[in-house]
Structure 1
Amino acid sequence: MILYNMPLFMVLAFLLLTLGVGLYASQRATTLREYAVGNKQFHTTTLVVTVLATSFGGGTLMRNVPKVHNIGIYFIAMLFAIAVGFWIKSCLVLRMRPFMEHLSMAETIGSLYGKWFRAIAALLGICFSIGIVAIQINVISAAIGMCVDSIDPRIITVLATLILIAYAMFGGIRAITLTDILQFATFTIIIPLLIRLVFVKTGKSFLDIILLLQKQEKFQFRNLFHLDKKLLKLVVESLGLACWFNPSAVQRVYMSSGPIQAHKVFLRVTLFSVIILACIVLMGLLVFVGDLTLPVTEIWPYILADMPPVYKGCVVISLLGMAMATADSSLHTAAIMFSHDMVESIRGIQVVSYVHQLRLAKYTALITGLLAMIVTVYYPNLFQLSHFVFNALIICFEATIAAPFILAILGFRGSLPTALIGMAIGALTALILKKWPQIDIGIGVGFLAMVANGLAMMAAHYLLPQPADKGWVGRDDQQKRMEQLIRAFKKYKKNIDLE
């Protein structure tokens, strides 16, 4: 009986450990800045881990393993665009020196386009965060439901959600960062074990697996280079993933001591993300080899079938850890955007009390978590919920906010009418593409809408009268010296490697 309930005991133990670490790491923040970004003296490794834990939620594993099995080489190629996206961000953050004292993406945009544009960006960011938290709650419920049948999974799901709300609400960024380390360490320890179990289940050697995959048409590399609609869709969706800006991941840039540390963080994240994505792809391939005809809904039951209870418990806490790590970061981001950006946009910067802002941030984390739980009631299916979030909230965010933010980093200083024209064109482009039944490019819609937004901003800037202080700004002396130092360091490291 004890062995039968082992997954439940392991889940409860992990939740209590997470709560203990979160509350132990809780800081008595006296200002919103301390609550939001800490002391900006985090170790680079700590920031790398928290970016990875934030970016790779439990849904990443649960959604993408079935898609690798079902779609094949096209999806595998698109998946690695995520790593390319981290590399792009590592280059962009070198130009973020003017914005490093900000607390959110919305504040950066608002510093250029005013308080109302800042409020719009914050509102969209909050909706985005609620959707991400809802996906992670759904993952928690699905994972517990697959492995723990001795108790209603909704009870454990509510408990896990309340725990992550508690330490995100009271502990601030310090508690979130340390729990992210615990949760990501759990994932990295357990995922190789899960791969090994799936490999054993196939009953084949590596050579047999390779020979089998070579015979499958949907895993042939030559299919990637056919000039057709599939290739066009692959390119557009890959660009959409590469140019996707998650507000929670960008929040880690503001936690860095400066652009150079942020650059190092995202370079290392690029490397480790390739390893994580390779593990996901390997699991999907092994499941395919084990059973070529599995429907998408039966893939995880197949993985967990005949698995010892202890191993099932390991799988659950691995998914649980990654889901909670992503959810708590999104809760924190939503709390900052509401208490900092929305309030200052409405009331004005000078009249806001930091004490009240800090209290409001904590209440916002609570309310955001509860709203996300309500969303999961209306969308209990993980794939339906993910489709809704990625095709509505994320596309909306990419279509309206991503272009002004990227252009700001690159040095463009536009006027408010220019930004509003770009936002309107981006949103209209996204709506047209979604309503056009012949076009099916998923998250690529967000990328095309973002490009339309940026082009509309450039057209409006150069065709309409603009204030004298608007336009492109060059790199300042500090940015030039910083880039020279980075080039010199790379050259020195190359010479050391050659020796």
Structure 2
Amino acid sequence: MILSNLPLLMTGAFLLFTLAAGLYFSKKTTSLKEYAVGNKNFATATLVATVLATIYGGGGLIRNVQQVYELGFLWLVYLFLSNFGVLIISPLASRMSPFMLNISIAETIGSIYGRMPRIITALSGIAVAITSLAIQINVIQLVLGMCTDMVDPRIITIIATLILIFYSTFGGIRAVTYTDALQFITFLVIIPVLAWLIFQKTEKSIGEMITFLGEQEKFQLNTVLTRHASLISVIMLVLSSLVSCINPDIMQRVYMASSPIQAKRVFLYSGLLSIFIKIFIILVGIGVFVVSPNLSIQDIWGFIINNMHPFFKGLICISLFAMAMSTADSNLNSCSVLISHDIVESIRGKQITTWNGLGLVRATSLIVGLSAMIVTFYYKDLLALLKLSFDLSIPIITAPFLLAVFGFRGTSTTALIGMVTGALTMIIWKIWIVSKTNIDGSFLCMLANGIAMMVAHYSRPQPEGTGWMKEDDEVLKTSVKDLPI
């Protein structure tokens, strides 16, 4: 009886440990800035851990193992190339000196383009955060359903969600960062163990496995290259993934760094360590395929967990919980900042007081968490939710942000034309293209946004102080948000 309930007991112990860690690392927060980015004195290793813990959610592990099994070589290409998305932030961070005192990506865009683009960026970021939270809540419920039938998975899912809401709300970014670090260490240790256990079950040597995979159509390069529709779909998804790291919760880690130099190092180390993590995720998917090549995509994780000793089953549950919660708490924190700092302050036209700001943040965390739980009732497909998160952010905020970082200064009208163009292009793409091709168009819509901004800027007279600036130009440090439009 105890052995059969061991996964549930281990998961419960991990939740209590997470709550205790969150409370231990919490301290009284006296300002919204401290809540959002701390005192900017985090060690580089700590920031690397929280970056990777934020990027690697439970949904990513489940989805990637499933897609490696289902798509074979095509998804291996996706995982390898998408890793450069983290590395892209490294050189980008070195150009962010003018924005290092900001606490959100929306504030950065607002400092260049004005109030309305800042609000739109915040709204987009909130929608993405809710979508990402929904992915993680789905994962928690899915894992609990596979690990135990003694307790309704929805009950523990609600408890887990409330725990991460609690320490994220009252501990701020300090609690989130250090619990992320602990959760990162947890799944960094367990994922290689899982890969090793799966390979033990194949009962094949490395040579035999390579020979077996070489005989499978989905793992043959020539076959992959002839499947043009699938190849184009994966390439477009890769392009979207490369810029998907430019979102509120990941970019918040740049603002947490003490300097652009530290931020550059953090994302360089994160990108290199990410390769190590992805190799083991790939090995898990390949191992399951070798053991049982005829599973449906929905049965893959059930097969993995049901063929494990209860102790190792508990470790898998803990790993997925750690990955889900470490991403979810970051989403909650960044989303709360976007609402209280960017939307409310922009609407009121003045900075909110510390007491009101922190009170609003705490109310926001609860509302956002509950909203994400509602989304899980309607969306269960983790890949569909990933694409939805791309659609909600990349076409709208990525191009204006990249242009700002690389020295472009434009008016609110220029930014709004680009954002509206990106959003409309995305809607058109979803209605007429996706239904026929299943190709993600987020990256192309981002390009449409950037092109529209350039056309809007150069097709009509512009105020002085706009246009492209050199990195060391003094005007780079100033804002044109109040220029006439």
TM-score normalised per structure 1? 0.92
Q: In the alignment, which residue of structure 1 is the partner of 2:261?
A: 260
Question: Is the contact made by 1:140 and 1:323 (CA closer than 8 Å) also made in structure 2?
Answer: yes
Do the aligned partners of residues 460 and 284 (structure 1) sit closer, same or farther apart at CA in structure 2, a change above 3 Å counting?
Answer: same
Rounded Cα–Cα distance in structure 2 between residues aligned with 1:134 and 1:443:
23
Question: 1:163 aligned to 2:163?
Answer: yes
Q: In the alignment, which residue of structure 2 is the partner of 1:246?
A: 247
Q: In the alignment, which residue of structure 1 is the partner of 2:18?
A: 18
Q: Which moved more, 1:294-303 or 1:370-379?
A: 370-379
Q: In the alignment, which residue of structure 1 is the partner of 2:430?
A: 434
Q: In the alignment, which residue of structure 2 is the partner of 1:486?
A: none
Deviation at 1:165, TM superposition (A): 0.5
Q: In the alignment, which residue of structure 1 is the partner of 2:36?
A: 36
Q: In the alignment, which residue of structure 2 is the partner of 1:404?
A: 400
Question: 1:420 aligned to 2:420?
Answer: no
Question: Is the contact made by 1:237 and 1:442 (CA closer than 8 Å) also made in structure 2?
Answer: no
Rounded Cα–Cα distance in structure 2 between residues aligned with 1:304 and 1:474:
55
Do the aligned partners of residues 22 and 472 (structure 1) sit closer, same or farther apart at CA in structure 2, a change above 3 Å counting?
Answer: same
User: How many residues in Structure 1 have an aligned counterpart in Structure 2?
Assistant: 475
Q: In the alignment, which residue of structure 2 is the partner of 1:111?
A: 111
Q: In the alignment, which residue of structure 1 is the partner of 2:363?
A: 363
Per-residue CA distance 1:369-403 (angstroms, 9 max, x = gap): 11111211233x2x1x541x334343131111111
Q: In the alignment, which residue of structure 2 is the partner of 1:328?
A: 329
Q: Which moved more, 1:253-262 or 1:396-405?
A: 396-405
Rounded Cα–Cα distance in structure 2 between residues aligned with 1:177 and 1:159:
21
Question: Is the contact made by 1:240 and 1:443 (CA closer than 8 Å) also made in structure 2?
Answer: no
Do the aligned partners of residues 474 and 226 (structure 1) sit closer, same or farther apart at CA in structure 2, a change above 3 Å counting?
Answer: farther
Rounded Cα–Cα distance in structure 1 between residues aligned with 2:435 and 2:5:
48
Rounded Cα–Cα distance in structure 2 between residues aligned with 1:73 and 1:67:
10
Do the aligned partners of residues 349 and 255 (structure 1) sit closer, same or farther apart at CA in structure 2, a change above 3 Å counting?
Answer: same
Gaps in structure 1 of 5+ consecutive residues: 481-499
Q: In the alignment, which residue of structure 2 is the partner of 1:446?
A: 442
Q: In the alignment, which residue of structure 2 is the partner of 1:177?
A: 177
Q: In the alignment, which residue of structure 2 is the partner of 1:208?
A: 208
Q: In the alignment, which residue of structure 1 is the partner of 2:339?
A: 338
Do the aligned partners of residues 157 and 229 (structure 1) sit closer, same or farther apart at CA in structure 2, a change above 3 Å counting?
Answer: closer
Do the aligned partners of residues 438 and 311 (structure 1) sit closer, same or farther apart at CA in structure 2, a change above 3 Å counting?
Answer: closer
Question: Is the contact made by 2:167 and 2:176 (CA closer than 8 Å) also made in structure 1?
Answer: yes
> How do residues 284-363 of structure 1 correspond to structure 2 at under 5 angstroms?
284-350=285-351, 352-363=352-363
Rounded Cα–Cα distance in structure 2 between residues aligned with 1:390 and 1:283:
21
Q: Which moved more, 1:234-243 or 1:290-299?
A: 234-243
Question: Is the contact made by 2:336 and 2:365 (CA closer than 8 Å) also made in structure 1?
Answer: yes
Rounded Cα–Cα distance in structure 2 between residues aligned with 1:258 and 1:386:
35
What SS is found at the alignment partner of 2:150? coil
Rounded Cα–Cα distance in structure 1 between residues aligned with 2:227 and 2:114:
45
Deviation at 1:438, TM superposition (A): 6.9
* Letter of the structure 1 residue corresponding to residue 172 of structure 2: G
Q: In the alignment, which residue of structure 1 is the partner of 2:460?
A: 464
Identity %: 51
* Letter of the structure 2 residue corresponding to residue 5 of structure 1: N
Question: Is the contact made by 1:422 and 1:455 (CA closer than 8 Å) also made in structure 2?
Answer: yes
Q: In the alignment, which residue of structure 1 is the partner of 2:45?
A: 45
* Letter of the structure 2 residue corresponding to residue 128 of structure 1: V
Question: Is the contact made by 2:229 and 2:437 (CA closer than 8 Å) also made in structure 1?
Answer: no
Question: 1:395 aligned to 2:396?
Answer: no
Q: In the alignment, which residue of structure 2 is the partner of 1:6?
A: 6
Deviation at 1:441, TM superposition (A): 6.6
Q: In the alignment, which residue of structure 1 is the partner of 2:482?
A: none
Rounded Cα–Cα distance in structure 2 between residues aligned with 1:441 and 1:49:
37
* Letter of the structure 2 residue corresponding to residue 157 of structure 1: T
Q: In the alignment, which residue of structure 2 is the partner of 1:78?
A: 78
Deviation at 1:224, TM superposition (A): 5.3
Rounded Cα–Cα distance in structure 2 between residues aligned with 1:443 and 1:114:
33
Per-residue CA distance 1:265-310 (angstroms, 9 max, x = gap): 0101111111111111111111111111111011111111231111
Do the aligned partners of residues 438 and 82 (structure 1) sit closer, same or farther apart at CA in structure 2, a change above 3 Å counting?
Answer: closer
Do the aligned partners of residues 87 and 59 (structure 1) sit closer, same or farther apart at CA in structure 2, a change above 3 Å counting?
Answer: same
Question: Is the contact made by 2:395 and 2:446 (CA closer than 8 Å) also made in structure 1?
Answer: yes
> How do residues 59-74 of structure 1 correspond to structure 2 at under 5 angstroms?
59-74=59-74
Deviation at 1:349, TM superposition (A): 2.4
Rounded Cα–Cα distance in structure 1 between residues aligned with 2:156 and 2:131:
20
Rounded Cα–Cα distance in structure 2 between residues aligned with 1:169 and 1:294:
41
Deviation at 1:233, TM superposition (A): 3.1
* Letter of the structure 1 residue corresponding to residue 272 of structure 2: L
Rounded Cα–Cα distance in structure 1 between residues aligned with 2:226 and 2:267:
33
Rounded Cα–Cα distance in structure 1 between residues aligned with 2:287 and 2:257:
39
Rounded Cα–Cα distance in structure 1 between residues aligned with 2:254 and 2:18:
25
What SS is found at the alignment partner of 2:424? helix
Deviation at 1:420, TM superposition (A): 1.3
Do the aligned partners of residues 180 and 84 (structure 1) sit closer, same or farther apart at CA in structure 2, a change above 3 Å counting?
Answer: same
Gaps in structure 2 of 5+ consecutive residues: 477-485
Deviation at 1:86, TM superposition (A): 1.1
What SS is found at the alignment partner of 2:368? helix
Rounded Cα–Cα distance in structure 1 between residues aligned with 2:309 and 2:233:
41
Rounded Cα–Cα distance in structure 2 between residues aligned with 1:29 and 1:441:
49
Q: In the alignment, which residue of structure 2 is the partner of 1:145?
A: 145
What SS is found at the alignment partner of 1:243? helix
Deviation at 1:465, TM superposition (A): 1.5
RMSD between aligned alpha carbons? Answer: 1.9
* Letter of the structure 1 residue corresponding to residue 264 of structure 2: H
Do the aligned partners of residues 440 and 85 (structure 1) sit closer, same or farther apart at CA in structure 2, a change above 3 Å counting?
Answer: farther
Q: Which moved more, 1:187-196 or 1:327-336?
A: 187-196
Rounded Cα–Cα distance in structure 2 between residues aligned with 1:31 and 1:442:
45
Rounded Cα–Cα distance in structure 1 between residues aligned with 2:427 and 2:371:
26
Question: Is the contact made by 1:238 and 1:444 (CA closer than 8 Å) also made in structure 2?
Answer: no
What SS is found at the alignment partner of 2:102? coil
Rounded Cα–Cα distance in structure 2 between residues aligned with 1:344 and 1:440:
43
Question: Is the contact made by 1:236 and 1:441 (CA closer than 8 Å) also made in structure 2?
Answer: no
TM-score normalised per structure 2? 0.94
Question: Is the contact made by 2:105 and 2:247 (CA closer than 8 Å) also made in structure 1?
Answer: no
Question: Is the contact made by 1:239 and 1:444 (CA closer than 8 Å) also made in structure 2?
Answer: no
